Chain A
Amino acid sequence: MERNESPLIEFRSVSKHYYMGDNVVRACDEINMSIYKGEFVAIVGQSGSGKSTCMNIIGCLDVPTFGEYFLGGVSVGTLRKNALAEIRNEMIGFIFQQYNLLAKSNLRENVEIPLMYAGVSKSERRRRATDVLTKVGLGDKLKNRPNQLSGGQQQRVSIARALVGSPSIILADEPTGALDSKTGLEVLSMLRELNEEGNTVVLITHDSSIAARAQRVIRLEDGRVSYDGPVSAAPGVGGDVRTEVGV
């Protein structure tokens, strides 16, 4: 996949090693990949394939042991914790499997959090949080607590939270994992809409049928990339699955 522009996400021989006693666990083993602006990429793999580690590195929650990770052209491997926090705040919009909303705060407050750490004024925060919650269809539940919502609604709140700071990347970690298949599909279509609006979406999943919703699949096995290409040609993510999920 050759392009003229520089990639938004670029892994150059990224390895992540964990040392357990004398054993070295190679969670990521010399991974090379590039993701460009506007793409919808699914990183797919079984548990233990290194996809979570990959996600942590992409999301700047972790840094590689070896190799270099460029985010928007900046090598983040050498950055300090505070700088990583800033990058997470500005560039990454996280969507988690378990939603990870703050139970004691209402929806608007939850969505405001990234803006709060970005130093946005209170009134501006409110306005933007309200806008984005309205966009995901929860404009009438601003003052509700997360536990008053269904799982699908909660995941929409976390999508709103991911969007509110206008990040460069939306990083979704098993976003449908805790949802029934119908609401899961709704969430996936929402991600797809976001991608069509120009957002770069990176979806991490173990489920090939979910991965089929993306444009491009990167399959990881034992910490290495075993496939990187369009969905149509991906082994096990092929045509039947696409029909199955109703594309």
Chain B
Amino acid sequence: MRFFESFELALKNILAGKMRAFLTMLGIIIGVMSVITIVGLGNGMENYMVDAFKSLGTDTLNIMITGRGSSRSVSEEKMYEIVEEHPEYFLKLSPMVSMGGVTVKLGSETLESPSVTGVSEDYLEMKQYLLMPGGRGLYYVDVRERANVCVVGTYVSETYFNGDAVGETLKISGRMFTIIGVMDIIADSGETEEGGADDVIFIPYSTAARMSGIGVLNSYTVTLVSEDLATPAKAAMEDELYDIFGSDNAYRVQSMSELLGTMTQMLSILITVLALIAGISLLVGGIGIMNIMLVSVTERTREIGIRKALGAKERYIMSQFVIEAATTSVIGGALGILAGFGLSAVATQVIAAMTEESLTVSPSIASVFMAFGISAVIGILFGYLPAKKAAKLNPIDALRYE
């Protein structure tokens, strides 16, 4: 008896009891579906995170100086020196002065959302932000003179100045600032939104530092020659800072690409754990199959007896039941894959509707193959015991079985 015939027989038996077969498969279906959806969710989250980090710049280092007591600190001139001393790693430096909680007013109207950041004249170039024609970026002279000038994002310009902001004025913490330039759209999506990447105001860091009353600048962004150099560049920066402070508690150097790596790793661990938990339902599904197969062997004791009397060898009976279990499991797996894709599509929609973020739950082909393989293996594994039981039945007793 050939494999194909056993398979045909198995299929016939499964189709003879569709409802029962479906219920038997349900565990496998749910297991495969959850594994595929969870892995798909993981992929989606990873893609989303990579995109988010890319927009922050994976070719930059962020440096935070916390200082060591009040005795030592590092001046901005020293930071510029460090960057110039390592042209193999560093391109440009910009101090960052984040002005949280300032009020921005246009006439008597208060603008709630824009973030105000003090940066150097190089910042726009470092971030590759483009300016709309008709304006200019920050100049060195603006920094030196602590000029009250600013560059605004598209959202600010469009929303409050009908897209024609250059030359207009804004009040930031009671100071009058002249808008000297408007940036082109920054957001990847090509759409500006409140509180987004285009709802920003950049002013000279020197101005920002004075307004916030910061004596010593404590936050910097450095661009790197290449993204791949993130690790050695970070090390070089840390060495320099260690020489100044004599302690590694006084500063923190953050590499976006390193951070991305760490977070991706954490995410993949999380997803693996979740997928394993979902995998437990595959195991439970397998036990369900074994259970039904055992019942089926008992129900079909007489059939087994007849087959044996008519000359079926143990291995034929064995393969008949193993193939039946495996076929059940694999059909369950296939249905689970379909359900997994369905659920992924639904999850994508639900996430979009609930969070207004576009996170695509994308099941990987690898997880599909794995789910399929695992369900086949489970079928064979859990089909083995009932099949063994069937094959070992004594034909005389089996024939007499009522």
Q: Do A and B bind each other?
A: yes
Residues of A within 8 A of B (CB): 56, 59, 61-62, 81-82, 85-86, 88-90, 94, 96, 100-102, 104, 113-114, 116-119, 122, 161
> Would you give 24 A-B contacts (Cβ < 8 Å), ordered by A?
A56-B396, A61-B309, A81-B313, A81-B314, A82-B314, A82-B315, A85-B312, A85-B314, A86-B311, A88-B309, A89-B310, A90-B311, A100-B302, A100-B305, A102-B303, A102-B306, A113-B306, A113-B310, A117-B307, A117-B311, A117-B312, A117-B316, A118-B311, A122-B5
Contacting pair A161 B16 (CB below 8 A): no
Q: Does B365 contact A (CB under 8 A)?
A: no
**Cβ-closest 9 pairs across A and B:** A89-B311, A117-B311, A85-B313, A114-B310, A82-B313, A100-B306, A88-B311, A61-B395, A117-B312
A113 to B5: give the CA distance in the assembly, Å. Answer: 12
Main secondary structure of the interface of B (DSSP, over half): helix
What number of A-B contacts does a CB cutoff of 8 Å give? 57
A63 to B305: give the CA distance in the assembly, Å. Answer: 16
Closest B residue, CB atoms, query A116: B1
Contacting pair B311 A104 (CB below 8 A): no
> Whole-angstrom distance from the CB of B389 to the nearest CB of chain A?
15
Closest A residue, CB atoms, query B399: A100
Residues of B within 8 A of A (CB): 1, 5, 12-13, 16, 302-303, 305-316, 395-396, 399
Q: Tell me which residues across on chain A come within 8 A of B305, comparing CB atoms.
A: 100
Q: Tell me which residues across on chain B come within 8 A of A82, comparing CB atoms.
A: 313-315
> Whole-angstrom distance from the CB of A128 to the nearest CB of chain B?
14
A72 to B13: give the CA distance in the assembly, Å. Answer: 38
Report which residue of B303, B311, B395 has the largest number of chain A beta carbons within 10 angstroms of its beta carbon: B311
Report which residue of B303, B313, B316 has the largest number of chain A beta carbons within 10 angstroms of its beta carbon: B313
Q: Tell me which residues across on chain A come within 8 A of B16, comparing CB atoms.
A: 104
Contacting pair B306 A85 (CB below 8 A): no
Contacting pair A104 B395 (CB below 8 A): no
> Whole-angstrom distance from the CB of B311 to the nearest CB of chain A?
2
Q: Tell me which residues across on chain A come within 8 A of B302, comparing CB atoms.
A: 100
- If A89-B311, A122-B5 are given as contacts, then 14 extra A-B residue pairs at C-beta distance below 8 Å, sorted by A number, are A61-B309, A81-B313, A82-B314, A85-B312, A86-B311, A88-B310, A100-B399, A113-B310, A114-B310, A116-B5, A117-B307, A117-B316, A118-B311, A161-B310
A113 to B396: give the CA distance in the assembly, Å. Answer: 18
Q: Tell me which residues across on chain B come within 8 A of A119, comparing CB atoms.
A: 1
Contacting pair B314 A96 (CB below 8 A): no
Q: Tell me which residues across on chain A come within 8 A of B312, comparing CB atoms.
A: 85, 117
Contacting pair A86 B310 (CB below 8 A): no
Contacting pair B313 A86 (CB below 8 A): yes
Closest A residue, CB atoms, query B307: A113
State whether A96 and B310 are in contact (beta carbons under 8 Å apart), knowing that A104-B13, A117-B316 are contacts in the complex: no
A117 to B6: give the CA distance in the assembly, Å. Answer: 11
A122 to B8: give the CA distance in the assembly, Å. Answer: 13
Q: Tell me which residues across on chain A come within 8 A of B308, comparing CB atoms.
A: 85
Q: Tell me which residues across on chain A come within 8 A of B314, comparing CB atoms.
A: 81-82, 85
Q: Tell me which residues across on chain B come within 8 A of A113, comparing CB atoms.
A: 306-307, 310
Q: Which one of B1, B303, B399 contacts A96 once the chains associate, using CB atoms below 8 Å?
A: B399
